[in-house]
Every structure is written in structure tokens, then in C-alpha cells.
Amino acid sequence: MNKALTFSITCELNGTLARVGIIKTPHGNIETPAFIVGGTKATVKTLTSEQVCQLGGQSVLANTYHLMLQPGADIIAEAGGIHKFMNWSNPIFTDSGGFQVFSLGMAYKKGLDATSSSEKGDYRKAVHSSSQLAKITDDGVTFSSHIDGSKIFINPEISMELQHKIGSDIHIAFDELTSPLASRDYIKKAMERTHAWADRSLNRHQELNDKHVLNNEKLQALYGVVQGAREEDLRKESSKFLGARNFDGYGIGGIFGPTEIPTVLSWVNNILPMDKPRHLLGMGSQPADLFLGVQYGIDTFDCVAPTRQARNGALFTNSGRLNIKNSKFKCDFSPVDNSCDCYTCKNYTRAYIHHLFRANEILGLTLASIHNERFVVRTVDYIRESIKDNTFFEYKKDFLEKYYGKHKASSFL
Amino acid sequence: MNKALTFSITCELNGTLARVGIIKTPHGNIETPAFIVGGTKATVKTLTSEQVCQLGGQSVLANTYHLMLQPGADIIAEAGGIHKFMNWSNPIFTDSGGFQVFSLGMAYKKGLDATSSSEKGDYRKAVHSSSQLAKITDDGVTFSSHIDGSKIFINPEISMELQHKIGSDIHIAFDELTSPLASRDYIKKAMERTHAWADRSLNRHQELNDKHVLNNEKLQALYGVVQGAREEDLRKESSKFLGARNFDGYGIGGIFGPTEIPTVLSWVNNILPMDKPRHLLGMGSQPADLFLGVQYGIDTFDCVAPTRQARNGALFTNSGRLNIKNSKFKCDFSPVDNSCDCYTCKNYTRAYIHHLFRANEILGLTLASIHNERFVVRTVDYIRESIKDNTFFEYKKDFLEKYYGKHKASSFL
């Protein structure tokens, strides 16, 4: 294969932006729509690669910022690249470190995350916070390491160099994610910076790929990132600007909560080139994200919520989330979810997992992570099948009404 | 199968007490000698049942004391027994709570354990400690729960009832393990109490098994426990007393460190009935335990050290233990042990596991536990094969010299 990435669309859903396709990379294919499993520090938390394969994970997403700090991109390169390092032979995404501009800047120590915070209403505090670990200029971002406080500088060129050393298949351009409470002026400024950084990312990326060609190495792909928050004109401008560049695909950042998905993705995905894959950055913590994302033209998602929530004892079921630590599960000898096909549900009961959580046994975290990750991966797999056989809307309605109840689900239908 | 347990010896090693055999239980067979994997709270720490099977674990040992506190024996009974509860369909041992008489009494909060402490020389402190969570009378033991401080009483009858509810295959009689620094008077007193408790355990156990017959349920086996510390006459008396009773097998308790094994086991195992299986309680934290135990007539071992040490980053290799957290492993892309056939060694490097430990990633604990547990299970499996083909002493010498170095190994040869 002499291209970093090819994308072919095999099926579309009339009247929507939804499509079924295949992303081909030098490390294998991803059938889309697909949920990309979170693997921040080159590990899917609590799970072996074998377990991630068994639960149907097609691809994982690791984080350039975390890996540059620990163990360092050079060590991963010396290991023969991230695939060998973490024992994952299928496609790997890396994000650029751009998310940390937000999470270590505006959102630092505020308990914010990009997927759940808009419901908490605490952005105001974040915006006025002075406890930040990231300082931004037009050249790049200076971080204070969350590990030892040392100063770290990342700019688009450095991010590209790191991602090439790490050796992931799909890289993300270095971008600036803004807070949902940022002013229009700031959103515009950050978007323009993101565009300048996109061009710089693309230039450096192409230089590095040229070297790979000379060295007979595998090529790597680069996605540009559309920003612009909730501003229609800025989102459209961002989509046009980036859509005209030679990216292999596009990430869409800065969407906070499922209610923003239809509006923002309608602006963006009607402009971005139809024949390139689109990734919804950091979203997928709840089923509405997945159904709405696909309906409005998303091909891949990533989110660390399935394993993070699992470690807190919050388990996904067809009828909503349950807290396995609740004493009502002490004698509940049914599986977490009766209809689930995961290793956990096939072999263990709620009572046993409850026991493990109460007894602080690590196996509880593993079993919960297997279940939640399988739940989300399977949901997107079934969405893919429902597009093929034209039952997407029936599946969506049925799933969301069972999960949220009819009233709440109605806002997503 | 209408017996709780049968044991057949298929091969013996001339000039030693070593033998190869098969323990048959209603939940399958154990090929002996065998290492029984530690599963204290009805979980092998950090591992799924599937992983324990994959690493060759034939049987696990859970702890009656821990399970009575959490989740409670009634809940395990309601689940259909511990096999269903923890998803382990092969044989399960339970210990009686007797070890906690020691660990929550004499040894409480002293960092002592039965397998390593004699080398630390801190028993003296333990003996004079007043911070104890266990008080002993001839009737039984009152514990203060380590979870909530509530008072819990266990005596031989209660221990038997709990183990029958839990539904393990092989139960251990309720006994009193003494500190290695206890006086001869106290050791004698504790041994006599252990004998009285053995008779009471056996009586109650037989009553409960009679009920199983009436209810067409599986029978359960009971091992008596030989005590007597380092006192030759007491060990021999204990072996005669218990050997004359109708136990299905024998546990040997109160051996601290491998150097005691040859002496004590020679006293005991030349008296105990040859045709019954013998379990060395709580030992197996180092290879010398395993080789010497087998040589002096032990059929099964249990020890939590492989997973506990793994969680501390101490990994077993053919040339001794290594601390994977050591920075020298940062760029070491070889497996933990080149000759190891475990999932971890086949798929991951020292550098990656080092990274996981440094980054506080739980997967590190899991991969380390798989490796250490496989290392110990395989060592005992190979010992079994070496008896069959009459290469035990070559294997022992070669293994121990590589592991400890020639000088230290010489004391075990």
C-alpha cells in the first residue's frame, strides 16, 4: 500500500449524512462507523490487547502529550513504534496534544471534560481560573508537565515529529480547543490559530512522510481539525479552509454534549469533502452521541468514558446506567446486562462484580471495563449494520427510548 | 463420583518422599505435584478466570475468613456455590480461617507473613505486640473484623459450616498456627487445641456431608492440619494423631522458610498415611520451597506471593527476581524472561511493563501477575515431569543454581 490512508464509502443512508465505509491503513482496516477505543498512555486501561480484540475493538487512540512525557517518543520509536510497544497490530490514532491546551489550560483541576461538563454548568469557574498548566502563543503551547512540573513546549511541527516517532497510523493536526464559554472573539482567534497550525502541521507531516518514502517505511495519515465552537460562520469557514487542504481526513473538535451535534455537524459535514473520513474528537460517553454523530456524518469516535466510568462502577445497560456498587446488587445473580455478549456478562454476575468493587479487587475494574467498552463498540457496530439494512431510525428510536426513557430520548430523535 | 476425593499415586522418586499423582474431586482433577493459585477473596488478584486457565492454573485456594466477611457465605451459597460465583469450574480449596488466628493475632500489623518473615528477624516484636485482632480460647477464636471492627467468632463447627456453604471441594480443618518464636509450652498447647479442633471439624464435616448425600449434592473433602512448629516430638505426635483420623488429606502448617522444610517434612511425611494427599500451607514464595517441598513428600502448595510480588513489580525469572520499576528497564525491549511461555512474555517487553508501572497503569499489575503465576505453576509442572522421567535432581540443581547462584543454591541441594 503506497498511500497513508484510503477511505471508501460502501453505503449511504438517504436523507441523512450517515454512511458506511472502510478506512484502510498500513496496519489494517477499520469498518466505519466505528468506535475507537481509548488508549491514552499506550494502554486501554485495565485491559490486555487480547481482551480489546475479543471485545471487538478495531482501533485505539493514544495521546501524544501523555506519551511524550512517559515513556517518551524516542523510547517508543526505539521499541519499533507504538504498535509493537503496546502489542496492538491494528490501526492506531494519536491525538496531537491539542486537547491538553484545553484540559491543562482552561479546564485544569476544574473537573471538566469535553464530553460531560456542559451539563454541569461550571465552565464559568473554569474561564476565570488562574490555575493553568498551559500557556498559548501563536507559535505553540508551553505546558507544565502534570508529572514533574517541568516546562514542555509543543507546536505543530513538534507534534508532527512526535507522532511520526510514535508511529501511529492516523495523526491529528495540532489545534486549539476552546471552552464552550469562550467569547466569540476568542473562538475566532483560536480558530485562526488552528488554521495556521493546520498548515504548519500539514507541511511538516508531508516532509516526514517524504522521508518515510525514501526509507521504505509505512506512510502515516493526518487529519485536520475543524473548530469554531457554536458559531455557524466560523464552523463553515473552518470547514472550507481545511476542506480545501490535502488532509487524509478530518477531526471535529469542540462539540460539548449531544444536543450540539445535529446543528454543528450539519454546518461542518455538508462542507467537508464527502470522500474523506471524519472523526468526532473525544465524544461517545453516551449513546445519543453515537447515533447523532453517525446520522450527521461521523465515521469514527473516540472517548475514554467507557473505561473511566467502568472504574467508577458505572455500567452501561440497554436500560441505562447502573452503579454496581449499590447494595441492591449484593444478591443479584443476573449478568450486568441480560442481552450483552461480552466476556463479563457471559461469565460473571452483578453480585460478583459488586463483591469485587466492595472488596477493592482490581478484577472488578477489568470486568467492568470489558463490559462498557464492548457495549459502546457493539452499539456502533449495530448502527453500521442498521445503515446497511436501512433500519437505522427504528434501531435508534428503540435503543434511545430504552436507554433514556421516552421523554428524554425524544430530544435526540 | 460418590467420594469427596480420591488420590492415586502414579509414580514415586526412589530415595525421596516425592511422588506424582492425581487428586480427583467432583469438580475435576489435579495432577500433582501442583501449585494451587491464591484466590483469597474468590478472585485471583487482577486476573480473569480465563487468564488463570490460560496460565495453567489447575485449582485455586480461597479464604473462609475473608469470604465470611465479604460477601458472606450465605451469598456465595445463594449464588450456587463458589465455583459459579467466581466462574471457576475446576477444583477449589478453602482454608479454614486458622491462618488468621496467626496473622490477625500475633502477626497483626507487623508486616509478617508465614513465608518470608523468618528471614526478617522481626518475630520478637510480634510476640510482644498487644495490637491483636484475634483472641483465642479452647472453644474458638474471636476476631475483630479488619473491615469494620465488628466481633466475629469462629470455631471448628462454624468454620466447617462456612466452608460447606461456600461449597469448595477441599476444606481445611480449623487450626491454630503459632509464631516461630512461641515457647515450647505454647506450641504444645496450640497443637493440642489443633487436635481437639481437628476432631470437632471432622465430626461437623461428616454431619454436613451426610446431608449432602441425602440431598444428592456433591461431597466435600476435609484435610486435617499438622502443627508442632520446630519441635520434633510434637510434629510426630501431631502426625500420628491426625494420621489416624479419617481425613481426606493433610495440610502441613507452621513451616517458616525453605530451610525448615527438609527436617520438618521428614518427621511428618514419614508418619502421615502415604496414600493421602499433603498440602504445604501458605508456602511457595520462592523456588526452593517448591523443590524441597516435593522432594519431602508434598503434593500441593498455595501461596499469594506470586501475585503480591507482581503487584510490587518483583518479577520472577530463571536467573532470579528483578524489579521492573528499575530505570534500567526503560529501554529493555526483551521479554521479562526469554525462556518464558506466558502471555506477558510472548507479547510484551520489559520496557512496556516498566512504562505501565511508572504510569500507574493497572495493566502492568495484570501482566506482572500473569507472568509470576505462570512461572510458579510451570515450575511445579516441570518438577512433576522431572519425577516421571527421573531427572528431578538435575532439574533441581540446574534451576536453583541459575535462580539463586551456586553459593546460595548449595544450601537447598
For residue B127, what pLDDT is reported? 43
- Tell whether B50 is within 8 A of chain A (Cβ): yes
Residues of B in contact with A362 (CB under 8 A): 45-46, 362, 365-366
Contact list in A for residue B76 (CB cut-off 8 A) is none
CA gap B126, B67 in Å, rounded = 26
What's the pLDDT at A181?
84
- Please identify which of the residues B74, B95, B289, B337 carries the catalytic annotation: B95
| Opening angle at CA A84, ends A79 and A88, nearest 5 | 150
pLDDT band at B120 (very low <50, low <70, confident <90, very high): very low
- Chosen from B361, B365, B370, B371 to mutate, greatest number of chain A CBs within 10 A: B361
Distance CA A339, CA A320 (A): 13
Q: What is the structure's pLDDT at A341?
A: 98
Quick check: A257 and A118 in contact, CB under 8 A? yes
Please report residues of A whose CB lies closer than 8 A to that of B362: 45-46, 362, 365-366
Q: Provide the grid cell at B49.
A: 478466570
∠ CA B262-B266-B270, nearest 5°, is 155
Domain residue spans of chain B: 6-303, 314-412
Per residue in B272-285, pLDDT tens? 999 999 999 999 99
By the CB < 8 Å criterion, does B196 face chain A? no
Cell numbers 497510523 correspond to A169
Higher-pLDDT residue of B179 and A23 is A23
Exposed, middle or buried: residue A57 (CB in 10 Å: 0-12, 13-18, 19+)? buried
Q: What is the pLDDT of residues B1-57, one digit of tens each?
A: 468 999 999 999 999 999 999 999 999 999 999 999 999 999 999 999 999 999 999
Q: How confident is the model at residue B123 (pLDDT cuts 50, 70, 90)?
A: very low
Whether residues B70 and A359 touch (CB distance < 8 A) is answered with yes
Could you tell me the CA-to-CA distances from B167 to A252, B38, B245, B356 in Å, in that order?
55, 17, 23, 37
Q: All 3 cell numbers of residue B51?
A: 487468564
pLDDT at position B143 is 87
Cα B379 from Cα A237, distance rounded (Å): 66
Within 8 A of B87 by CB-CB distance, chain A residues are 347-348, 352
Mutate to test the interface with A, among B87, B307, B356, B373 (most CBs of A within 10 A): B87
Task: Provide mean pLDDT across the span B315-337.
Answer: 98
**Strand duo A151-154 + A141-144: pairing:** antiparallel
Give the three-state DSSP class for A296: coil
pLDDT in tens, B245-254: 999 999 999 9
**What does the pLDDT read at residue B77?**
98
Cβ-proximal residues to B317 (8 Å cutoff; 6+ apart), any chain: B336, B337, B340, B375
- With vertex at residue A228, the alpha carbon angle to CA A108 and CA A152, rounded to the nearest 5 degrees, is 40
| Helix residue spans in B296-405 (DSSP H) | 305-311, 343-347, 350-358, 362-388, 392-404
Q: Which residue among the candidates B169, B175, B299, B302 is catalytic per the annotation?
A: B302
- What pairs with residue B300 in β-bridges? B34, B279
Q: CA torsion B261→B267→B270→B274, rounded to 10°? A: -60
Do A187 and A229 form a contact (C-beta atoms < 8 A)? Answer: yes
Work out the widest C-alpha separation in chain B, in whole angstroms: 63
CA distance A19 to A23: 12
Give the model's pLDDT for residue A180: 82
pLDDT of residue B113 exceeding 90: no
Q: Is A348 on the interface with B (CB under 8 A)?
A: yes
State pLDDT tens for residues B179-237.
888 899 999 999 999 999 999 999 999 999 999 999 999 999 999 999 999 999 999 99
Rounded Cα–Cα distance for residues B197 and B191 (Å): 10
> pLDDT value at position B84?
98
Grid coordinates representing B195?
Answer: 487436635
Mean pLDDT computed over A260-269: 98
What average pLDDT score do residues A259-286 get?
97
Q: Where are the beta strands (DSSP E) in B209-248?
A: 221-226
What's the pLDDT tens digit per position in A79-130? 999 999 999 999 999 999 888 777 777 666 554 444 444 433 344 444 444 4
CATH T-level assignment (fold) for domain A6-303: TIM Barrel (3.20.20)
B359-383 pLDDT per residue, tens? 999 999 999 999 999 999 999 999 9
Q: Is B351 on the interface with A (CB under 8 A)?
A: yes
pLDDT at B107: 64
Which residue, B255, B356, B279, B379, is CA-closest to B310?
A: B356
Summarised one tens digit per residue, pLDDT across range A67-77 is 999 999 999 99
B146: nearest CA partner in chain A? A359
pLDDT of residue A131: 58
Rounded to two decimals, what is the model's pTM? 0.94
Strands of A158-290, DSSP E:
170-172, 221-226, 249-252, 278-280
* SS3 label, residue B93: strand
| Res B223: pLDDT | 98
C-alpha count within 13 angstroms, C-beta hemisphere, residue B246: 8
What percent of chain A has a predicted confidence (pLDDT) above 90? Answer: 85
Q: Which range, of A255-264, A296-305, B102-111, averages the lowest pLDDT?
A: B102-111
> At how many degrees (to 10) do helices B362-388 and A362-388 cross?
110
- Averaged pLDDT score across all residues of chain B: 93
Give the pLDDT band of residue A143 (cuts 50, 70, 90). confident
Closest CA to B378 of B314, B308, B306: B306
pLDDT band at B108 (very low <50, low <70, confident <90, very high): low
| Residues 6+ positions from A289 with CB-CB distance below 8 Å | A115, A258, A261, A280, A283, A301, A303
Query: What is chain A's percent helix, strand, coil content, to nearest 5?
Result: 45, 15, 40
pLDDT, residue A145, reads: 86
Residue in the block written with cell 454436613: B208
